[in-house]
Amino acid sequence: MVSVGERIASGPSQLRSKTLLNAVLDFLNTGLTNLSAWQTVAVTLVLTHITIASVTIYLHRHQAHRALELHAIPSHFFRFWLWLTTGQVTKEWAAIHRKHHAKCETEEDPHSPVTRGIKKVLLEGAELYRAESKNKETLEKYGHGTPDDWIERNLYTKYSWQGVAVMLILDVLLFGAKGVTVWAVQMLWIPITAAGIINGIGHFWGYRNYDCADAATNIVPWGILIGGEELHNNHHTYATSAKLSNKWYEFDIGWGYIRAMEIVGLAKVKKVAPKPTFAEAKSVPDLSTLQSVIANRYDVMAKYAKSVKLAWHDEVEHLKEKAKLESRFLKSSRKLLQREPAKLEKPHHEQLSELFQHSKALETMHHMRVELSVMWERSTLTRDQLLHKLQDWCARAEASGIKSLQEFSLRLRTYA
């Protein structure tokens, strides 16, 4: 039997053990912040959004495309934060992204769903990135101009993955056992949103404001969750623009942060996408009209695509009722008319030739589009020769008798 004296002597020791155990359990439940589950979720979303902002502003727009300059304060903060939350090496990220633009939708593109398949890029985007980061030729050719200071060489690059281990420790200290989940979300955020969704879905599904040379699409018009990167078609059209939204209904939250930093002197925007200006229509296009048309060629062709849609609307009933063309044929033909002529293959040309046998208006719209694109293609034509071609193009368009083509030509003469 334990004597009364022994029980009294052991009491304080047991009490201390229970108190210590309770303290450990309380810490594991709440961490230093003592946040509820919903508060932890909210903080996690804020932390992941800071990571997204760091990628789109620092790695993408500042480092890869030089669309803006950053003050040392945000620049160093973004580098440090990315080291903690992604283990990302600036030179690797910028080099791989630049190669993506240079070799877009080809076999050399590091992560194109066109050549590798949407499933591969969507589910294994991070693995594709890591594989390309080991390609020394890519880093040497495309990694120029990225940070090469002491801290980059001796910490961020040399110990790139130690940062995420530090983040794990910090998350556990701040949130307790829930910190492991917070850390896992942080680690998965960029591989899923950037490497998977943007590189995958952003070249596979969505809408296109501009018929740029690759398959890039805008996933949604409101770039919030992924910092504005959702507007991928806009970005591939104007790659060096610091602003990714182009239409009035589009929103780029990353651009909002950049403008805020610019106001307080922490950033300087170098380039944004050109906005066309218009004046009263000239009776005859002149050199300033030609220069504006060439500078705003993507806007010009987007407007021409709308004119093709109007012409199609005027012709479709005739094609259904009199020409007796099947709905499936008409649907696919409409899509082919919207596609850039240079991207059409032999079967596409054959299908359009069949369509044009029943509609001279659509044939004219198609051929006039091909002629218009010559204005900005590399050629041996002089400026005066190009101007003559533009003037002749407008004259023929307005004499065509096709309402949508005539209206487009009148608008073309207002570019200033």
Q: Give which of 268, 273, 252 is closest to 75, Cα–Cα.
A: 268
List, in sequence order, the alpha helices (H) in 264-381: 287-295, 297-321, 327-338, 346-356, 360-373
- Give, in order, the Cα–Cα distances in Å from 111 to each of 44, 101, 117, 194: 28, 11, 9, 11
Two tokens at 87? 């283990």
Q: Give which of 181, 183, 174 is closest to 84, Cα–Cα.
A: 183
pLDDT band with cut points at 50, 70 and 90 for residue 6: low
Please say if the pLDDT value at position 142 is more than 80.
yes
Token pair 């062709």 in the structure block, residue: 301
Two tokens at 165? 């281990």
Kindly state the average pLDDT of the residues 102-116.
94
Task: Return the pLDDT at 265.
Answer: 97
3-state secondary structure of 69: strand
Please say if the pLDDT value at position 30 is more than 80.
no
Kindly state the average pLDDT of the residues 366-371.
93
Q: Which helix (H) or strand (E) holds 84?
A: helix 72-85
Two tokens at 301? 């062709």
Please say if the pLDDT value at position 268 is more than 80.
yes
Please say if the pLDDT value at position 8 is more than 70.
no
Task: Return the pLDDT at 321.
Answer: 82
Q: Sort 80 into a burial class: Cβ within 10 Å, 0-12 / 13-18 / 19+.
A: middle
Domain residue ranges in the chain = 37-269, 287-412
> Per residue in 40-75, pLDDT tens?
999 999 999 999 999 999 999 999 999 999 999 999
Please say if the pLDDT value at position 179 is more than 90.
yes
Enumerate residues 6+ apart whose C-beta is below 8 A from 177. 28, 29
> Per residue in 14-26, pLDDT tens?
656 667 666 565 6
Q: Write down the pTM of the prediction.
A: 0.85
Report strand pairing: 267-269 vs 251-252: unpaired
| Nearest-angstrom CA–CA distance, 91 and 344 | 37
Task: Return the pLDDT at 25.
Answer: 58
Least confident window among 104-108, 215-219, 279-283: 279-283
Task: Return the pLDDT at 204.
Answer: 92
Give the Cβ contact number of residue 357 at 10 Å. Answer: 10
